[in-house]
């Protein structure tokens, strides 16, 4: 297990990058602490896979360095980095038994037989593959094969890190639940440094202690699931985390109040400096209360999605989304209030820190 | 209208589709929901005429389609893998079915522009597909299906390869596209949440059989069979087998739960009780029955927490708003909301359905 430092990384796929736009990865300075569970989350093209490939050694960065426990590995090939990888599609030897598939990475490195047996049995038990252990991998379902791939990633105790590239994409929803919690359990028990790349916010937020959100080649926020949900640093995080994403309402700040058309909303704190740039109020659909009090809204659409209702409405001519419980009755003259503890202010898309009122 | 009369497909002695009867109305959206290998793609191929049923009939507007080649049927298909012509512009990609049909230039232009507008592709008409994002590429494939003005449009997990957020946006847009075209849409997915967001009608599939068909929210709330309830639950349905003795559902070694008043009339017998994750909670939301369960793992997304618990050897999931972290092994007092209990007899049929039929 290792601490992984990324120092001033930049990467361009083109030979002679002319401008910022040519960089798939613009500038990344970050440290993955030893034993941490991290997710790299972002839309396709955000640079998350490029970053993972730099860590694994598949790509040499155009600029910057990568260190494992303080040792520069920038020029080391993948084989020399002592990492395990799990990919989107299963990598399994069909002619070998499940047991032998799992034992392979250990035997390959000359681990003593009794140690191999102990580790393999442990992984087999954790993944619930006991009944399959002696069977040949051929003929297993793709779900089961992907379980074996996960197991092969987890079987070695001495790796510097385990890297996962969208490992649950091909898995059916029901099994995802089981595998996700197994993976979390394994991390808790084995304590490996794990980096998990995904575009699926549920996977990222439930797996990782720390989520790194990437957008257009840069890290826009690093935080716990709570921080990303409650205090998105950038409007992109507000949009990308949460489903539906955060409401963003253009506003004008006057003293202690934020104006929305004819409505005025009390800010939860004071601006340190006079506001500059384009200002927006950010409030998540979950933190808008719909009832008989507050600002009048016009309801455009109510979507009953089972456990919840998604209500699309307009407030002072701006679209707003509200999420309410399945049992809530929509009042005849609906009004909304914003939970002040969950109100965020953005200037040119970046969150503005507010000072507590004196 | 597309009608399937008792359609079966048997391949080398194995039933891939068994006795499916469906009526799909023009202008309707119909979701086929089921896990991998449930028969969704097979059923679509039978609807399209790409395969012939072993028995039963497929009729379009009252006309049996047996022997009508697929080229002569008014069908469009969109697959998980976006298929576009890489060397043709978006405009030419969308135009291609019209050119094949020999439409004049003015008609081609009018229809391509209308479809592009509907799918928000107008700014990209001169680009090549590979210069577009995955979502835009899939929208191009959809526009080509729309421009064909086919009576039947089949979409086989069309959003599976897209980013989470793009999927969310496409799901919100698609019902509008469907409603405006007037065709019969059939949409296959493995994800219950996707069916709920799309709305329309849903047919749940299990092992080649349509277990229920009706308005999506109806099928979700009132599953007639246990297998339907399981197929249509994500997180997985919480279940427990209990025996009704008078006014209580009992289980050896547990206090059991009282039989809700509306079920007082059902006979004393073994039942499977099911309830969804959001109907298990930390507080009594109404008609709550308290139980003691042991924490197995907690997953926090920032807005919600999924708490996996063990109750008498059953693995359940509780979905709770907000952030709740519990220690492994901690005992929790939880409430099952009995207003939303699903109760199935030994044959796996809902007692509500039995009572309604009686």
Q: Among all residues of chain A, which has the CA nearest to that of B215? A: A304
Q: Which helix (H) or strand (E) holds A32?
A: strand A23-32
DSSP B114-149: HHHHHTT-GGGTTS-GGGS-HHHHHHHHHHHHHHTT
Model confidence at B358, pLDDT cuts 50, 70, 90, reads very low
Model confidence at B22, pLDDT cuts 50, 70, 90, reads very high
Strands B201-206 and B184-189 turn out to be unpaired
Model confidence at A181, pLDDT cuts 50, 70, 90, reads confident
Q: How far is B86 from chain A (nearest CA, A)?
A: 19
Per-residue pLDDT, B130? 85
DSSP B152-204: EEEEESTTTTS-HHHHHHHHHHHHHHHHHH-SEEEEEES-HHHHHHH-SEEEE
CB burial class (10 A; 0-12, 13-18, 19+) of residue B207? Answer: middle
Note the Cα B323 to chain centre separation in Å: 29
Interchain CB distance below 8 Å, A306 and B319: no
A163-177 pLDDT, tens digit per residue, is 999 998 878 888 888
The pLDDT of residue A219 is above 80: yes
Q: Among all residues of chain B, which has the CA nearest to that of A186? A: B297
pLDDT higher for A112 or A139? Answer: A112
Q: What is the mean pLDDT of chain A?
A: 91
As a whole number of angstroms, the distance between CA A349 and CA A41 comes to 19
As a whole number of angstroms, the distance between CA B94 and CA B81 comes to 17
> Mean of the pLDDT values across residues A43-66?
92
Backbone phi, psi, residue B337, to 5°? -80, 100
> Mean of the pLDDT values across residues A52-80?
95
Residue window 233-272, chain B: list those with CB within 8 Å of chain A.
Answer: 234-236
Interchain CB distance below 8 Å, B302 and A243: no
Model confidence at A22, pLDDT cuts 50, 70, 90, reads confident
Per-residue pLDDT, B355? 58
Question: What are the strands of the beta sheet with A210-215, ordered from one edge?
Answer: A71-72, A63-68, A4-12, A23-32, A218-223, A210-215, A37-41, A194-198, A161-165, A83-86
Q: Name beta bridge partners: B122.
A: none
> Mean of the pLDDT values across residues A147-157?
90
Residues of chain A contacting B195 with CB distance shorter than 8 Å = none
Per-residue pLDDT, A273? 78
Per-residue pLDDT, B267? 93
As a whole number of angstroms, the distance between CA B96 and CA B99 comes to 5
Extract the tokens encoding B94: 């969308």
B303-350 pLDDT, tens digit per residue, is 899 999 999 899 999 999 888 989 889 999 999 998 899 999 999 999
The pLDDT of residue B82 is above 80: no
Q: How far is A355 from chain B (nearest CA, A)?
A: 24
Model confidence at B39, pLDDT cuts 50, 70, 90, reads very high
Residues of chain B contacting A328 with CB distance shorter than 8 Å = none
pLDDT higher for B164 or A326? Answer: A326
Residues of chain B contacting A173 with CB distance shorter than 8 Å = 35, 190-192, 234
Residues of chain A contacting B220 with CB distance shorter than 8 Å = 306
| CB proximity B323 to A under 8 Å | yes
B268-293 pLDDT, tens digit per residue, is 999 999 999 999 999 998 788 999 99
Interchain CB distance below 8 Å, B165 and A240: yes
| CB proximity B303 to A under 8 Å | yes
Contact A105, A152 (CB under 8 A): yes
List the single best residue of A307, A325, A326 to mutate versus B (max B Cβ within 10 A). A307
> Mean of the pLDDT values across residues A69-75?
95
> Mean of the pLDDT values across residues A312-330?
93
The pLDDT of residue A11 is above 70: yes
Q: How far is B354 from chain A (nearest CA, A)?
A: 23
| CB proximity B134 to A under 8 Å | yes
DSSP B238-296: EEEEEEEETTEEEETTEEEEEPPGGGTTSPSSEEEEEE-GGGEESS--SSEEEEEEEEE
Q: For residue B40, give the nearest of B215, B183, B204 by alpha carbon.
A: B204
Q: How far is A173 from chain B (nearest CA, A)?
A: 6
Q: How far is A213 from chain B (nearest CA, A)?
A: 14
| CB proximity B296 to A under 8 Å | yes
Contact B272, B341 (CB under 8 A): no
As a whole number of angstroms, the distance between CA B301 and CA B318 comes to 13
Extract the tokens encoding A266: 């009390």
Extract the tokens encoding B279: 């109907």
List the single best residue of A143, A177, A232 to mutate versus B (max B Cβ within 10 A). A177
DSSP A218-252: EEEEEE-HHHHHHS-SBHHHHHHSSSS--EEEE-E
User: Beta-carbon neighbour count of residue A67 at 10 Å?
Assistant: 16
Q: For residue B231, give the nearest of B273, B192, B194 by alpha carbon.
A: B192
Q: For residue B336, give the nearest of B295, B270, B272, B292 by alpha carbon.
A: B292
Lowest pLDDT segment from A209-223, B64-78, B160-174, B337-351: B160-174
Q: For residue A7, give the nearest of A53, A56, A72, A58 by alpha carbon.
A: A72
pLDDT higher for B44 or B255? Answer: B44
Interchain CB distance below 8 Å, B299 and A173: no
Backbone phi, psi, residue A122, to 5°? -60, -50
The pLDDT of residue A211 is above 70: yes
**Helix-strand-coil percent breakdown of chain A, rounded to 5?**
30, 35, 35
Residues in Cβ contact with A39 at an 8 Å cutoff, skipping those fewer than 6 apart? A195, A196, A197, A198, A203, A204, A205, A207, A208, A210, A211, A212
Question: Using beta carbons and an 8 Å cutoff, which residues of A are at the interface with B?
Answer: 43-45, 142-143, 172-174, 177, 180-181, 184-185, 188, 199-202, 205-206, 225-226, 228-230, 239-245, 284, 286, 303-307, 326-327
Interchain CB distance below 8 Å, A172 and B35: yes
The pLDDT of residue A64 is above 90: yes
The pLDDT of residue B63 is above 70: yes
Interchain CB distance below 8 Å, B300 and A226: yes
Lowest pLDDT segment from A273-282, B89-98, B171-180: B171-180
B141-169 pLDDT, tens digit per residue, is 988 988 888 899 999 998 887 777 878 88
As a whole number of angstroms, the distance between CA B43 and CA B37 comes to 11
Nearest to A305 among B134, B165, B197 (CB): B197
Nearest to A305 among B36, B165, B196 (CB): B196
The SS3 of residue B333 is strand
Residues in Cβ contact with A51 at an 8 Å cutoff, skipping those fewer than 6 apart? A6, A9, A25, A28, A40, A214
How many residue pairs from chains A and B have C-beta atoms closer than 8 A? 88
Q: Among all residues of chain B, which has the CA nearest to that of A236? A: B165
The pLDDT of residue B356 is above 60: no
The pLDDT of residue A40 is above 60: yes
> Mean of the pLDDT values across residues B255-280?
90
As a whole number of angstroms, the distance between CA B17 and CA B8 comes to 5
Q: Determine what percent of chain A is predicted with pLDDT higher than 70.
A: 100
């Amino acid at each position: 297990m290792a601490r992984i430092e990324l120092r001033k990384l930049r990467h361009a796929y083109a030979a002679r990058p002319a401008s910022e736009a040519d960089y798939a990865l613009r500038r990344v300075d970050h440290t993955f602490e030893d034993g941490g569970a991290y997710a790299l989350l972002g839309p396709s093209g955000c640079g998350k896979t490029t970053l993972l490939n730099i860590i694994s050694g598949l790509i040499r960065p155009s600029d910057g360095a990568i260190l494992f426990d303080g040792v520069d590995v920038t020029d080391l090939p993948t084989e020399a980095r002592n990492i395990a990888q799990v990919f989107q599609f299963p990598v399994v030897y069909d002619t070998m038994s499940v047991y032998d598939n799992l034992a392979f990475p250990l035997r390959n490195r000359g681990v003593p037989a009794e140690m191999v047996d102990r580790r393999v049995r442990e992984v087999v038990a954790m993944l619930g593959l006991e009944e399959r252990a002696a069977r040949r991998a051929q003929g297993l379902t793709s779900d089961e094969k992907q379980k074996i791939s996960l197991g092969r990633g987890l079987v070695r105790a001495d790796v510097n890190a385990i890297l996962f590239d969208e490992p649950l994409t091909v898995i059916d929803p029901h099994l995802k639940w089981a595998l996700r919690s197994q993976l979390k359990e394994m991390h808790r028990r084995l304590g490996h440094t794990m980096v998990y790349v995904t575009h699926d916010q549920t996977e990222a937020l439930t797996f990782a202690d720390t989520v790194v959100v990437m957008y257009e080649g840069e890290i826009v926020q690093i935080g716990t699931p709570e921080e990303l949900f409650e205090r998105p640093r950038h409007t992109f995080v507000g949009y990308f985390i949460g489903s539906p994403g955060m409401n963003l309402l253009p506003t004008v700040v006057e003293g202690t109040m934020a104006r929305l058309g004819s409505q005025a909303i009390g800010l939860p704190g004071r601006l340190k400096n006079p506001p500059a740039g384009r200002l927006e109020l950010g409030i998540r659909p979950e933190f808008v209360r719909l009832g008989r009090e507050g600002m009048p809204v016009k309801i455009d659409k109510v979507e009953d999605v089972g456990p919840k209702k998604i209500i699309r409405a307009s407030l002072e001519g701006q679209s707003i989304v509200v999420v309410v419980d399945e049992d809530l009755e929509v009042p005849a003259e609906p009004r909304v209030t914003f939970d002040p503890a969950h109100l965020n202010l953005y200037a040119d898309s970046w969150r503005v820190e507010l000072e507590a009122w004196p | 209208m597309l009608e399937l009369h008792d359609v079966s497909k048997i391949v080398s002695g194995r039933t891939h589709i068994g006795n499916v009867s469906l009526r799909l109305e023009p202008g309707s959206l119909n979701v086929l929901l089921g896990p991998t290998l449930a028969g969704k793609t097979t059923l679509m191929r039978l609807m399209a005429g790409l395969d012939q049923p072993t028995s039963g009939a497929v009729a379009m507007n009252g006309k049996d389609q047996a022997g009508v080649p697929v080229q002569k049927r008014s069908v469009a298909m969109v697959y998980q893998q976006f298929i576009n012509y890489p060397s043709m512009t978006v405009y030419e990609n969308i135009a291609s079915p019209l050119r094949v049909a020999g439409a004049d230039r003015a008609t081609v232009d009018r229809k391509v522009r209308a479809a592009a507008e509907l799918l928000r592709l107008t700014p990209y008409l001169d680009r090549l597909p590979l210069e577009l994002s995955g979502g835009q590429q899939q929208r191009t494939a959809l526009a080509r299906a729309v421009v064909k003005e086919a009576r039947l449009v089949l979409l086989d997990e069309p959003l599976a390869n897209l980013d989470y957020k793009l999927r969310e946006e496409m799901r919100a847009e698609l019902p509008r596209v469907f409603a405006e075209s007037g065709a019969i849409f059939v949409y296959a997915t493995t994800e219950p949440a996707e069916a709920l967001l799309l709305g329309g009608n849903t047919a749940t599939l299990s092992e080649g059989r349509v277990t229920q068909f009706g308005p999506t929210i109806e099928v979700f709330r009132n599953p007639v069979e246990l297998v339907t309830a399981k197929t249509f639950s994500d997180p997985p349905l919480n279940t427990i087998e209990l025996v009704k003795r008078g006014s209580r559902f009992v289980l050896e070694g547990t206090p059991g739960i009282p039989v809700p008043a509306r079920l007082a009339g059902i006979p004393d017998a073994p039942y499977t009780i099911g309830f969804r994750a959001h109907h298990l909670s930390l507080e009594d939301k109404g008609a709550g029955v308290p139980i003691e369960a042991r924490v197995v793992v907690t997953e926090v997304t920032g807005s919600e927490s999924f708490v996996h618990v063990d109750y008498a050897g059953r693995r359940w999931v509780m979905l709770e708003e907000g952030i709740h972290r519990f220690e492994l092994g901690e005992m929790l007092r939880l409430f099952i909301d009995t207003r939303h209990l699903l109760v199935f007899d030994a044959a796996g049929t809902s007692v509500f359905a039995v009572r309604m039929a009686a």
